[in-house]
Amino acid sequence: MDVLISIKPQYVKQIVMNQKKYEYRKAIFKEKNISKIYIYSTAPDKVIIGYFRYTGYLVGTPSEIWHLTKSYAGLSKEKFFIYFNNKNIAYALIISNFKIYQNPINPYKLNPDFVPPQSYMYIHGEYLP
């Protein structure tokens, strides 16, 4: 099983440039058998730009996660702590071996009823070549 996550274009660019190696989440997948994580770049792009193999995540308090990941966070300390405001637990997906598509996938062409995930959604190859 695979997962599709939504990421803002400014952070997608940092992933592509290998400057962002962690994707922060307030909630993590319940399914344990995840193979790939596909990245949907939000508006104005609105395309699936590539994927990375799921190798796991870090979990801890926001302070612990910031300390472990700040070198490749892709965002400021201020934005990080605003995102995790009033949260006791923070998750950081590990981004490694990112593969970018030569031709990004427009999910709306494959499924006119496509709705970008707020956090994540499980997919079974329906949006992928």
> Where in the chain are the domains?
2-123
Q: What per-residue confidence (pLDDT) applies to 49?
A: 96
Structure tokens at 109: 């062409």
Contact assessment for residue 92 and residue 28, using Cβ atoms and an 8 Å cutoff:
no
Q: What is the mean pLDDT of each run of 10 residues along the chain (129 residues)?
A: 95 95 95 92 96 96 98 96 97 96 93 91 72
Residue among 99, 23, 97, 7 at smallest CA distance from 57: 23
Residue among 129, 48, 59, 118 at smallest CA distance from 88: 59
Q: What per-residue confidence (pLDDT) applies to 124?
A: 77
Residue with tokens 């190696």: 21
Distance CA(107)–CA(80), nearest Å, equals 29
Whole-model pTM: value is 0.92
Q: What per-residue confidence (pLDDT) applies to 129?
A: 57
Distance CA(38)–CA(98), nearest Å, equals 10
CATH architecture of the domain covering 2-123: Roll (2.30)
Collect all residues with Cβ–Cβ distance below 8 Å to 120 and sequence separation of at least 6: 3, 4, 5, 25, 29
